[in-house]
Amino acid sequence: MEDIDFGKRDKRGNWKPNYKVTPNPKYIIPFEPLKLLKHIVGWNGYIFPWAFIWASVAVICWFFFTPPLEQMRNFELGWITYILVRNAIVVFLYAGFFHLHFFVQKSQGWNFKYNTKPLENNNSKFLFQNQTKDNLVYVFLSAIPIWTAYEVITYWLFANSFIPMIDWNLYPVYCAVLFFLVPTIRDIHFYLVHRFLHWPPLYKIGHKVHHNNTNPGPWSGLAMHPIEHTLYFTGIIFHWIIPSHPLIAMWHIFHAGLAPHAGHSGYDKMIFKNGKHLDIGAYDHYLHHKYFECNYGGGNFGWLDKWFGTLHDGSEEAHEKTLQRLKNKSYL
Ligand SMILES: [Zn+2]
Ligand SMILES: [Zn+2]
């Protein structure tokens, strides 16, 4: 499987897929219910494979690696540390898997990479002048503790009945619908937070750290300034306001913690040694890292970019418009 059959690589090594970036969920406008259903349950759609993988990790962690709610009525170092270490291990194994495949074993070379540049080593904009070390510091010393803090507070609120908890047995449909909607809710929240992060003062203090990664790698996904992490993980607060269940709240924050890694790998497809492959298809966010003023949304709800005129679909026309917007931004 070769990238030249799925796109074009120019002389500078930049690869562009043949597909156009179209806003998800597809088939909403114009509304085509059967195709929408196929998008929801079919391969490379709303659920399979990525959301299914992340939700499975969350469910496994809830049933096997989360203390019982009664134990979380009081803030105690023991169970809080357990959740912190658990989250660190999950991210280490998950993001590490992509880093190992693409950048340590170099299993597929530049095949399906959006450019032919290695991760940076010897650039003063990164801590220790090294992109991977810089990213690891922000992931493990900021992302994981802040994610864990939100998760711990949420369990504590549920355990003490400070927020309403819905019983899966009494309201299975409500719980299932809410669980199903988590990726959409999260990506709408991400769009709003992300636009706010591009407000010049906040960009300069916070979001710039993430954007130092113009050629991102898997660890860049959660490599953000603590201010950005504090905003990024606020999606879980949704479950403090509407009636929910700790598992659904946990799935929400796990989605935030797991979704970015593959999407920041810089590759459009992951090719395995047995010839099988997984579509990553994060060209939209790659363009955001390259051109800043486009594609603010998460993968599941691109309509906000479309409606606000910030969608870069890969076409020349969209490219010109993005460059025009970029010219007017003096903060970058
Ligand atoms: Zn990013
Ligand atoms: Zn940004």
* Residue 310 belongs to a domain: yes
Total structural domains within the chain = 1
| Confidence at residue 142, expressed as pLDDT on a 0 to 100 scale | 98
Q: Which residues of 126-140 are buried (b: 16+ CB within 10 A; e: fewer)?
A: bbeebbbebbbbbbb
Over residues 302-330, the mean pLDDT reads: 92
Question: For residue 329, what pLDDT band results from cuts at 50, 70 and 90?
Answer: confident
| Confidence at residue 332, expressed as pLDDT on a 0 to 100 scale | 73
| Confidence at residue 58, expressed as pLDDT on a 0 to 100 scale | 98
pLDDT at 170 over 80: yes
Q: How far is the CA of 147 from the centre of ligand 2 (A)?
A: 19
What percentage of the chain exceeds 90 in pLDDT?
96
Q: Are strands 7-9 and 277-279 parallel, antiparallel or unpaired?
A: unpaired
* Residue 223 belongs to a domain: yes
Q: How far is the CA of 246 from the centre of ligand 1 (A)?
A: 27
Nearest to residue 39, comparing CAs of 174, 179, 184, 175?
184
Question: For residue 298, what pLDDT band results from cuts at 50, 70 and 90?
Answer: confident
| Confidence at residue 299, expressed as pLDDT on a 0 to 100 scale | 83
* Residue 243 belongs to a domain: yes
* Residue 323 belongs to a domain: yes
Closest ligand by atom to 194 CA: 2
Report the predicted TM-score, pTM, of the whole model to 2 decimal places: 0.97
| Confidence at residue 15, expressed as pLDDT on a 0 to 100 scale | 98
Closest ligand by atom to 260 CA: 1
* Residue 332 belongs to a domain: no
Count of CB atoms within 10 A of residue 54's CB?
21
Q: How far is the CA of 43 from the centre of ligand 2 (A)?
A: 28
Q: How far is the CA of 213 from the centre of ligand 1 (A)?
A: 8
**For residue 141, what is the DSSP state?**
I
Q: How far is the CA of 100 from the centre of ligand 2 (A)?
A: 26
Over residues 19-43, the mean pLDDT reads: 95
Domain boundaries, position 294: 3-327
Closest ligand by atom to 191 CA: 2
What is d(CA 224, CA 229) in angstroms, rounded to the nearest whole number? 6
pLDDT digits (tens, 9 = 90+) for 209-260: 999 999 999 999 999 999 999 999 999 999 999 999 999 999 999 999 999 9
Which residue do the tokens 């959301």 mark?
A: 51
Per the prediction, the chain carries an average pLDDT of 97
Q: How far is the CA of 148 from the centre of ligand 1 (A)?
A: 21
Over residues 144-149, the mean pLDDT reads: 98
* Residue 128 belongs to a domain: yes
Closest ligand by atom to 285 CA: 1
| Confidence at residue 330, expressed as pLDDT on a 0 to 100 scale | 75
* Residue 27 belongs to a domain: yes
Question: For residue 43, what pLDDT band results from cuts at 50, 70 and 90?
Answer: very high
pLDDT digits (tens, 9 = 90+) for 66-98: 999 999 999 999 999 999 999 999 999 999 999
Question: For residue 196, what pLDDT band results from cuts at 50, 70 and 90?
Answer: very high
* Residue 67 belongs to a domain: yes
What is d(CA 29, CA 303) in angstroms, rounded to the nearest whole number? 10
